[in-house]
Structure 1
Amino acid sequence: MNARSWWLMISVGLGMLLNPLNSSMVAVAIPRLQHVYRLDFTMVSWIIFSFYIASAIANPVMGKASDLFGRKKIFLLGLIVALIASLFAPYSPTFGWLLVCRIVQSIGTSMLLTAGMAIIRTHTQENQATAISVLTVFQSGAAAIGPFIGGMLIYTWDWHAIFAVNVPFVVLSLLLCYWIIPKDESMSTVAQRLTLRQWLDRIDSLGILLFTAGLVSLLIGLLSAKSTVHVSWLHVTAIVAGVVLLGTFIQHERRAAAPFIPLPALARYPAITRVNVNFMLVNVLFYALFFGIPSYLQTVRHLSELHTGILMLTLGLSSLLITPFAGRWVDRSGPRPALRLAAMLMTLGAAWILTWTPTSPLLSVCLGLAAFGIANGLSNVSLQATLFRSSPQALIGVASGLFSTARNLGAILSSLLIGIVLGKQFSFGGFRTLGLILVCFALSLVFTSWKHRESEQVQES
């Protein structure tokens, strides 16, 4: 790759790291936010839910917008939206206002993820797995330093600083990307003539409404029932409403002319569906530990936010260090061997958690984190490479958005799992139960990765 390609990846990567940076920093802030706002663990977990639900909705929408209106325009607009949210969040007077800022922040960073990946896919024609690995370094690096930065900022100042720290990254990326990202091609005649009503139809506003209402209703019903330790008719109504709305959403997507999640297109390209299912499983495992272990370290082991952040560096640094090797490995041998190894490491890491006690050596904790970090780096590169190989050029923006949505759905499911298993207060017994459930998820990932390999061998033969 030439110098311009490297500068392009650096400029885009500085913006794309904002999403994992903010999701990782908040992991060490949960106990602090519980204390500040006097909320239980389940209620504070909405700081996670709000971010990932908004991302799950924004990613495919912004994927379509970038394909239609231009990737550079959407990327620069995403930087401005993220900047506004980061400036206002520290002054949130209530937890509700903080959630609104998190949602706005999520939308802005989702614009950066989908448009940024499409920009690299469009302007990098050679060694794409290597290019992916460079972007993954930015994202894995943000995840690696996020807990440490968050812990250090909270320990030194307060939780407000985890939002203010975004500002220099946004400003630097904005300046670089304005000059370095190639100019978008002229907007198509169709895009120029779109009215607001036509744009709402084009992004499937009804599908978005059904998806959002169904998912939020289901989450409220499940988490409220667990939080109150009593299942009332209101909880049952919310759960049933959520299931019905999500079922209606699926039926609507099959008939929609421009579906929010293009189920007909996914049916034509089953490899994309397999990639997203595997990626969702990976992120259920990864984020369940990502948000669960800091609470274990602070609540059970009584470590400070700073020391928790330092230990959590093991997870992100392991992923960061393996990523360049993963890119070269995938370029040389294809994505399947790396994905297989990642599945086995996640299974071993989940099983290792079951050996922990309230007084286990911190080295044992680091070993478990390292196993998951390496597996995460391998799976990210291999699955993104598979996505690029299986997606037609015309659908790359939508495919990138769906890939990010799979990540967000995995994070949402992991947060839901944590909320249900742990309830109001974090306990070591609940953490052990969480570990046992994660072993089952890891084994299912091993099964799907081997089944995927076998099906590909049949097709190749």
Structure 2
Amino acid sequence: MNARSRWLMISVGLGVLLNPLNSSMVSVAIPRLQNVFQLNFTVVSWIIFSFYIASAIAQPVMGKASDLFGRKKIFLTGLVVAFVASLLAPLSPNFGWLIVFRIVQSIGTSMMVSVGMAIVRIHITEKQATALSVLSIFLSGAAAIGPFIGGVLIHWWDWPAIFFVNIPFVVASFLFAWRTIPKDEPSASVARNMSFRKWLDLIDASGVLLFTVGLVALLVGLLSAKSSGHVSFWYVIVGLIGLVLLVAFIRHELKTPSPFIPLRTFAKYPAITWVNVEFILVNVLFYSIFFGLPSYLQTVRHVSEFHTGILMLSLGLCSLVASPIAGRWIDKSGPRPALLVSAMLMIFGSVWIVTLNESSPVISVCLALAAFGISNGLNSVGMQAALFKSSPKEMIGVASGVFMTSRYLGTILSSLLIGIVMGDKFSFGGFRLLGMILTVIALSLVFMSWRRRESGNLEELEFHK
């Protein structure tokens, strides 16, 4: 890899790490935001919901936009948007404005993620696999150390620091990207000749609107009822409207020629469907711990943000160490054994949470974190390998897009689960109940992994016959 390629990797890497970094740093900031804005846990959890909903929508939309307007333009625009959001978020006069800037930040960072991989694939032709693996280290590494960085920043400089810390990364990435990313203008004429209506059809604006409004309405109905402690007619109506809109979204996606989420893929390829269902459940488990444990440590056990960040580092480090080991194991044995072991580890971690009491040593949570960290490393490689194994070659691109959507859905569902279980206040009893629910989900994953193994054995037997 020559010097220009290395600088291109650095410029893209500094940009794409902002999305996972900002999605993970906030896990340590939730108790602090509750105190600052005098809000309950359910309301503050929208700082998580808003980011992932916006990311789930922005990444596929911006991927299509880059084909029309050029990947360099989208990447640089994303950096500018992220810069503005990171600068204005700490100045928010209230929590509502903070959510607005958080959404803008999510859109900006998603613009870079959606085109960063494509830029590397197109412009780095030598040792491309190595380049892509380095880019994945930027992504996974940022997510892994995010809680630690967030804990340190909040401890020394308070919550605005988790936004200001983006600015040097944005500036460095912009300067490098401006000089190193080659121009790509082949589709500019197509974009100029395309009508606004055709552009809306291309990005499936109707599907995006139905998905966004339906999901937000359903979440508002469910979370508001739990937070208030009673079910009112208003909450029921809002939740039902959300449910109806999501049903309309499914019908729309099955009919439209350019769907936002290609649901026809699920109907046509059941194996891909089951891989994505498992991936959703895996992310529900992982992110329930990822977002739940920092609040437990700070709210229930009164651990400082700094020490919470240090404890959470064990989750990220175990994940990073397990990933390359998982790659070699899966190359030899296939994804099924690794996924089965991963599910067993998540059962152990969930049961361990249930056994904790209010006098348990704080350091003992590291066992649960290590179990979930190792399982995440196994899953990050194993689930992708299972996806490629179950997907026809001509469907890899579409299947990968659906796979990323499943990650975001799992993350959103994890936040919903925590919000419903905890209500307006994060408590020890609620945390134990969360552990019980996660144990049931992990047990279902073991069953699904075992069925996958039995199904695979039957397919091989039929093949030999």
TM-score (norm 1): 0.91
Query: What is the alpha-carbon distance in structure 2 between the residues aligned to residue 425 and residue 324 of structure 1?
Result: 39
Matched-pair contact (CA < 8 Å) for 1:276–1:403? yes
Cα distance change of structure 1 residues 268 and 199 upon mapping to structure 2, 3 Å threshold? same
- Residue of structure 1 equivalent to 2:403: 403
Pairing 1:323-338 to 2, within 5 Å after superposition: 323-338=323-338
Q: 1:435: how far off?
A: 0.3
The equivalent of 2:27 in structure 1 is 27
SS where residue 29 of structure 1 aligns?
helix
- Give the Cα separation in 2 of the matches to 1:29 and 1:6: 34
Q: 1:45–1:419: 8 Å Cα contact kept in structure 2?
A: yes
**Aligned to 1:93, what secondary structure does the other structure show?**
coil
- Post-superposition offset of 1:175: 3.1
Amino acid at match of 1:442: A
Match of 2:384 in 1: 384
Q: Does 1:341 align with 2:328?
A: no
Other-structure match for 1:146: 146
Contact 2:67 2:187 in 1 (8 A): no
What does residue 47 of structure 1 align with?
47
2:326–2:381 CA contact under 8 A, matched in 1: yes
Alignment-mate amino acid for residue 35 of structure 1: N
Tell me, in whole angstroms, the C-alpha distance in 2 between the residues paired with 1:96 and 1:438: 31
CA distance in 2, matches of 1:125, 1:388: 23
Moved more, 7-16 or 388-397: 388-397
User: What corresponds to 1:355 in structure 2?
Assistant: 355
Residue 40 of structure 1 deviates from its aligned partner by 0.6
* Alpha-carbon distance, 1:164 to partner: 0.5
Q: How far did 1:162 drift?
A: 0.4
State the Cα distance separating 1:87 from its structure 2 match: 1.4
Shift of 1:404: 2.6
Task: Report the CA distance shift for 1:452/1:3 in structure 2 as closer, same or farther (over 3 A).
Answer: farther
- Equivalence for 2:161: 161
Q: More displaced, 440-449 or 134-143? A: 134-143
Check conservation: 1:41, 1:423, Cα contact below 8 A.
yes
My pick for the range that moved more, 165-174 or 265-274, is: 265-274
Q: Distance in 2 between matches of 1:265 and 1:410?
A: 19
Deviations 1:36-89, CA, capped at 9 Å, x for gaps: 111111111111111111112212222333344444433332222212211111
| Stretch moving more, 374-383 or 395-404 | 395-404
- CA distance in 1 between counterparts of 2:52 and 2:200 reads 22
Contact residue 137 and residue 323 of structure 1 kept, 8 A: no
Specify whether residues 132 and 448 from structure 1 end up closer, same or farther in structure 2 by C-alpha distance, changes over 3 A only. Answer: farther
Could you tell me which residue of structure 1 aligns to residue 83 of structure 2?
83
Q: Quick one: distance in 1 between partners of 2:303 and 2:448?
A: 37
- Residue 25 of structure 2 contacts residue 149 of structure 2 at CA under 8 Å; is this kept in 1? yes
- 1:267 Cα deviation (Å)? 3.3
2:95 corresponding residue in structure 1: 95
Where does residue 440 of structure 1 map in the other structure?
Answer: 440
Aligned-partner SS, 2:359? coil
Letter in 1 for 2:233: W
Matched residue count: 461
Q: Which moved more, 1:111-120 or 1:123-132?
A: 123-132
Q: Is the 8 A contact 2:335 2:385 kept in 1?
A: yes
Structure 1, 380-389 or 236-245: larger mean CA deviation: 380-389
Residue identity in the other structure for 2:255: R
Q: In the superposition, relative to structure 1, how do residues 355 and 420 fare at CA in structure 2: closer, same or farther (>3 Å)?
A: same
Deviation for aligned residue 1:181: 4.3
Partners of 2:80 and 2:204 in 1: how far apart? 25
CA offset at residue 118 of structure 1? 3.6
1:74-127 Cα distance to aligned partner (Å, 9 max, x none): 333222221221111111111111000100111122222222234455567898
Q: 1:278 & 1:425 partners in 2: Cα distance?
A: 30
Between the aligned partners of 2:254 and 2:101, the Cα distance in structure 1 is 33
Aligned residues of 1:59 and 1:404 also touching (Cα < 8 A): no
**How big is the shift at 1:134?**
3.5
Matches of 1:410 and 1:259, distance apart in 2 = 20
Is the alpha carbon distance of 1:30 and 1:77 closer, same or farther for their aligned partners in structure 2, counting shifts above 3 Å? same
**Equivalent runs, 1:33-432 vs 2, <5 Å:** 33-120=33-120, 133-181=133-181, 183-184=183-184, 186-187=186-187, 190-387=190-387, 398-432=398-432
195-204 vs 10-19, greater mean Cα deviation: 10-19
Deviation at 1:192, TM superposition (A): 4.4
**Contact 2:29–2:159 (8 Å) recurs in 1:** yes
The one-letter code of the counterpart of 2:384 is Q
Q: Which amino acid aligns with 1:278?
A: E
**Farther-moved stretch of structure 1 (383-392 vs 262-271):** 383-392
What is the SS of the residue equivalent to 1:357?
A: coil
Partners of 2:328 and 2:366 lie apart in 1 by 26
Q: Distance in 1 between matches of 2:70 and 2:332?
A: 33
Instruction: State the identity %.
Output: 68
- TM-score (normalizing by structure 2): 0.90
Measure how far apart 1:429 and its partner are.
0.5
8 Å contact kept, 1:27–1:294:
yes
Deviations 1:294-329 (A, max 9, x none): 111111111111111111111111112222333344
Moved more, 210-219 or 127-136: 127-136
3-state SS of paired residue (1:82): helix
What is the letter of the counterpart of residue 27 of structure 1? S
* Structure 1 segments unaligned to the other structure (5+ residues): none
> What is the distance in 1 between the residues matched to 2:143 and 2:202?
34
97-106 vs 351-360, greater mean Cα deviation: 351-360
The offset of 1:231, in angstroms, is 0.5
Compare 360-369 and 112-121 and name the one that shifted more: 112-121
Q: Secondary structure at the match of 1:425?
A: coil
Deviates most, 440-449 or 44-53:
440-449
**8 Å CA contact retained: 1:82, 1:104:** yes
Output the amino acid matched with 1:44: V
Q: Structure 2 counterpart of 1:33, which letter?
A: L
Output the CA distance in 1 between the equivalents of 2:68 and 2:336.
33
- Between the two structures, name the one with larger relative contact order (CA 8 Å, sep ≥ 6): 1
Alpha-carbon distance in 2 for matches of 1:195, 1:176:
34
